Chains A and B, each alone.
Chain A
Amino acid sequence: EAQVTQNPRYLITVTGKKLTVTCSQNMNHEYMSWYRQDPGLGLRQIYYSMNVEVTDKGDVPEGYKVSRKEKRNFPLILESPSPNQTSLYFCASSLLLAGAWGEQFFGPGTRLTVL
């Protein structure tokens, strides 16, 4: 089954304790992206990647890191989480089409609480 998986689905942590949220897709998509969703703010893009070793900042990259060492995986790293990073996080992937926007497939979400 074609899918995007994220782990963990739920995480409660404390300020300053490094964490990683994993994301994996099995559709051989070039494009992968991380979003956070907050009430009243919609989805905001954190980082995106157009292929292995190619990443770029979205609109809200501060406090986050990503890496793309393999095509299927795109982990999101919070080196020193803070309470304002409490949010619902989504990973997404899509084909990279020349001159067009592909359908983004989203994971099930990770609800993160930073105390």
Chain B
Amino acid sequence: TQLLEQSPQFLSIQEGENLTVYCNSSSVFSSLQWYRQEPGEGPVLLVTVVTGGEVKKLKRLTFQFGDARKDSSLHITAAQPGDTGLYLCAGGSGTYKYIFGTGTRLKVLA
């Protein structure tokens, strides 16, 4: 069974700090997605990474896919209270099954 482990599980930081969230697996994924979920809502896609070593930037968010396509990271620069939420990574394999990570709950304090 493919698993995606995220770390840390919880993160509480002050506005303006930087942070990195990790998504790791022992399996290779053909692509990896990052979603953000706010209370009472469904997850919303932030980015999809496909190529090993790929780096994508979305304003203050930087996403990286590991060279071996087994891991990914999300780095947030100068976090804002609006970044608060549950961050989920999700991997796709050869089938059309989705595997989601366990999530990282981020709270950014003003």
What residues on B are CB-neighbors of A31 within 8 Å?
96
| Contact with A50, one of B1, B43, B45, B96 (Cβ below 8 angstroms) | B96
| Contact with A90, one of B6, B42, B103 (Cβ below 8 angstroms) | B42
Q: Are B45 and A104 in touch, CB under 8 angstroms?
A: yes
How far apart sit A92 and B31, CA to CA, in the bound complex (Å)? 18
Asked whether A75 is an interface residue with its Cβ less than 8 Å from the other chain, the reply is no
Q: Are A43 and B33 in touch, CB under 8 angstroms?
A: no
Segment from A12-20, A62-70, A105-113 that makes contact with B: A105-113
Asked whether B61 is an interface residue with its Cβ less than 8 Å from the other chain, the reply is no
| Contact with A59, one of B42, B97, B101 (Cβ below 8 angstroms) | B97
What residues on B are CB-neighbors of A59 within 8 Å?
1, 97, 99
B24-43 with Cβ < 8 A to chain A = 30-31, 33, 35, 40-43
What residues on A are CB-neighbors of B41 within 8 Å?
106, 108-109
> Using an 8 Å CB-CB cutoff, how does the interface string of A49-65 with B read, 1 for contact, 0 for none?
01000001011000000
Q: Are B88 and A101 in touch, CB under 8 angstroms?
A: no
Asked whether B68 is an interface residue with its Cβ less than 8 Å from the other chain, the reply is no
A-B contact count (CB 8 A): 68
Select from chain B the residue with minimum beta-carbon distance to A44.
Answer: B100
How far apart sit A50 and B98, CA to CA, in the bound complex (Å)? 12
Asked whether B92 is an interface residue with its Cβ less than 8 Å from the other chain, the reply is yes
How far apart sit A108 and B39, CA to CA, in the bound complex (Å)? 10
Q: Are A42 and B97 in touch, CB under 8 angstroms?
A: no
What residues on A are CB-neighbors of B44 within 8 Å?
106
Q: Are B88 and A42 in touch, CB under 8 angstroms?
A: yes
Write the nearest CB–CB distance from A47 to chain B, whole angstroms: 10
14 sample A-B contacts, Cβ–Cβ < 8 Å, listed by A number: A40-B102, A42-B4, A42-B88, A100-B48, A101-B30, A101-B33, A103-B33, A104-B90, A105-B42, A106-B41, A106-B43, A106-B44, A108-B41, A109-B40
Question: What are the 9 tightest A-B residue pairs by CB atom distance, in nearest-first order?
Answer: A106-B42, A43-B100, A42-B102, A101-B92, A103-B45, A42-B100, A101-B31, A42-B103, A90-B42
